[in-house]
Amino acid sequence: MSFLTDLFAGGASKLVDSVGNTLGKVVTTKGEKMQLDNEIKKADMDFQVEMQKLSLEERQAVYQDMNSARNREEALSQSATATTLGKNISSYLAIAATLLCFAMFFILVFMPKLISAQDNQYKDIVIYILGVLSALLTQVYSYYFGSSTGSADKSKTLERVIQQKNTPAGK
């Protein structure tokens, strides 16, 4: 039990110090220390590269999913055998969600007596439904008018280019 107490009450720092001292005894020359530092930096860079690859693969999967959904929508809209409802159901749902969300906003702003102080339990429900509808409306707008992911990526790229341009060549 005292081992655990020592470990959590400062024993961990002693453990790290002893590992560092052990490495200091094993790595004695300046060349060995530089080699160890280089290996640690290389491992860190390899880790960063691997994380970037995983991020790229994840982003590609998201874009493929979006592309397949758009291709399905396009094929359905051009199908000769699809019904009018089948061709336009996503548009109808988007319009309904938009109208419902704006109706809820209108009710909350211009008819607050519908949700009086006596009906606090209904107020929480209405606020929750409004939050869900607002999130749905955001998704509808992202679908029809584009996502902000591309815009965020462009901003990061521009920021990186400006930063590289302003950084002196020696640093």
Q: Please give the torsion angle defined by the CA atoms of residues 24, 26, 32 and 36, in that order, rounded to the nearest 10 degrees.
A: -70
Q: Residue 41 phi/psi, 5° resolution?
A: -65, -40
pTM higher than 0.75 = no
* pLDDT per residue as tens, the chain (171 positions): 454 455 445 555 565 566 566 655 666 678 888 888 888 888 889 888 888 888 888 888 888 887 887 788 788 888 888 888 888 888 888 899 889 888 888 887 887 776 665 566 677 777 788 888 889 888 888 877 776 666 666 667 767 777 777 766 545
Residue ranges of the domains in the chain?
1-82, 83-171
| Sequence-distant (≥ 6) Cβ neighbours of residue 14 within 8 angstroms | 6
Q: Phi-psi region for residue 47, left (φ > 0), alpha (ψ -120 to 50) or beta?
A: alpha
